[in-house]
């Protein structure tokens, strides 16, 4: 338990304040250029897996667009689109094993789907129902609304995994905005101290509602935060699904080997609004969007697949039709379910409903003339 006595760093030099002024371009890991050309080492993935990534991305895009449409028609609650962030969402979830955990915020819907969470579960949560369709065996809690809090939960889960001598890992996602929250920094610190098997993926999409990244923190890269908590920080092109897949895989291997946490910053762009309640034209220039559309994750990956004979125009069309059908079918399923029954409000507060709450339940049912409510949840 000896205290660090840094004799080895005692210096006779005059004091100098070191500021990061080297921004090596090669710090941002990238495998595919925006034009889909290969410039890095390809991860070992089969064509089927690669096409599978593509399918997830277009499914996610279509899902996001559909949800916006539904919200505009009053058929869905407030929704946070992920347009532009598909590569990050796919790349961070694809390497996970079933026994690994995903603890994500509201933006990475595709990640949940890859983990096995049914579309219905996501739609229910967005739709304002109880988020009670997340099967526990999927190891993916309902997506988080309160920013940054999930990163602490993720660390706790990782500590529990370690405690049980298991070799699972936890991947948690967070936006650039939420990295300013105290909780996120406390989470990094705990993860570092306890060498928890957790991977922090910061989905840096450039905007926290109307706050641009530069006003969120003066750090050059959010990944630089890692050094201050004793873990490696890695920056990746978030619009390159293969690069994201690769760095997350490597981080997972590290964690599984007992080498502790990693902080990954995926640089991407929020092409849509913060949520359906937001109007980004108020605060950001159209030119930005145009620039980023050229670097879009789906276009570049499609080019890569087509150039390497893994996808044809025809197959692409078919895939699009498939995902469309899948989403529309899920919408039908969602709209066919009954709304939750009022009594459910009282039943999920405690394991056993205390008497005051039971009384309140009775009073309310009387007040609302709900004697006819059946315990199965349907009501007149």
Instruction: Report in angstroms how near the CB of residue 29 gets to another protein at its nearest.
Output: 6
42 near another protein (CB under 8 A): no
> How far is residue 127's CA from residue 325's CA, in Å, rounded to a whole number?
20
> How far is residue 330's CA from residue 66's CA, in Å, rounded to a whole number?
11
DSSP for 148-210, please give it.
THHHHHHHHHHHHHHHTT----EEEEEETGGGGSHHHHHHHHHHHHTT-SEEEEEEE-SEETT
The one among 38, 39, 42, 146 contacting another protein by CB under 8 A:
146
360 near another protein (CB under 8 A): yes
The one among 202, 235, 295, 311 contacting another protein by CB under 8 A:
235
Binding mask 171-200 for another protein (x = CB under 8 A): ------xxxxxxx-xx--x--xx-x-----
56 or 229: CB nearest another protein: 229
230 near another protein (CB under 8 A): yes
* Binding window for another protein (CB under 8 A); candidates: 46-54, 84-92, 223-231, 291-299: 223-231
282 near another protein (CB under 8 A): yes
Q: Is 283 one of the catalytic residues?
A: yes
377 near another protein (CB under 8 A): no
> How far is residue 169's CA from residue 198's CA, in Å, rounded to a whole number?
6
Tokens matching residue 256: 């599984």
Residue 31 in contact with residue 38, Cβ under 8 Å?
yes
257 or 325: CB nearest another protein: 257
Class of residue 369 by CB neighbours under 10 A (exposed 0-12, middle 13-18, buried 19+): exposed
Per CB under 8 A, contacts with another protein among 292-331 are none
Class of residue 274 by CB neighbours under 10 A (exposed 0-12, middle 13-18, buried 19+): buried
Q: Is 350 one of the catalytic residues?
A: no
183 or 326: CB nearest another protein: 183
Q: Is 320 one of the catalytic residues?
A: no
The one among 281, 344, 374, 378 contacting another protein by CB under 8 A:
344
Can you tell me whether residue 358 is helix, strand or coil? helix
67 near another protein (CB under 8 A): no
Q: Which residues are catalytic?
A: 270, 274, 283
């Amino acid at each position: 338990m000896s205290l660090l006595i840094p004799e080895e760093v005692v210096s006779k030099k005059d004091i100098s304040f070191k500021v990061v002024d080297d921004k090596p371009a090669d710090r941002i890991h990238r495998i595919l250029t925006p034009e889909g050309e290969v410039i890095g080492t390809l991860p070992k993935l089969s064509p089927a897996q690669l096409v599978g990534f593509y399918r997830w991305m277009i499914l996610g895009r279509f899902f996001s667009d559909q949800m916006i449409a539904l919200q505009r028609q009053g058929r869905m609650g407030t929704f946070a689109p992920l347009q532009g962030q598909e590569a990050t969402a796919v790349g961070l979830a694809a390497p996970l094993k079933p026994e690994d955990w995903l603890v994500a915020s509201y933006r990475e819907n595709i990640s949940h789907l890859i983990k096995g969470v049914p579309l219905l579960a996501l739609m229910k949560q967005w739709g304002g129902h109880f988020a009670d369709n997340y099967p526990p065996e999927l190891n993916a809690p309902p997506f988080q609304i309160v920013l940054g809090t999930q990163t602490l939960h993720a660390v706790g889960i990782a500590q529990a995994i370690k405690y049980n001598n298991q070799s699972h890992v936890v991947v948690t996602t967070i936006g650039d905005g939420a990295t300013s929250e105290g909780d996120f920094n406390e989470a990094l610190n705990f993860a570092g101290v306890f060498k928890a098997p957790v991977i922090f993926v910061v989905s840096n999409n450039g905007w926290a509602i109307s706050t641009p990244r530069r006003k969120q923190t003066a750090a050059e890269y959010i990944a630089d935060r890692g050094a201050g908590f004793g873990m490696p920080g890695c920056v990746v092109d978030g619009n390159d699904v293969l690069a994201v897949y690769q760095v997350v895989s490597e981080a997972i291997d590290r964690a599984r080997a007992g080498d502790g946490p990693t902080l990954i910053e995926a640089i991407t762009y929020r092409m849509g609004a913060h949520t359906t309640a937001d109007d980004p034209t108020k605060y950001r220039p159209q030119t930005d969007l145009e620039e980023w559309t050229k670097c879009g994750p789906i276009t570049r990956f499609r080019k890569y697949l087509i150039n390497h004979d893994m996808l044809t125009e025809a197959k692409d069309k078919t895939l699009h039709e498939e995902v469309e059908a899948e989403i529309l079918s899920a919408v039908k399923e969602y709209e066919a379910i009954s709304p939750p029954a009022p009594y459910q409000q009282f039943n999920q507060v405690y394991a056993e409903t205390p008497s005051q709450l039971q009384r309140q339940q009775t009073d309310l049912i009387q007040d609302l003339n709900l004697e006819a409510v059946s315990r199965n949840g349907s009501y007149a």
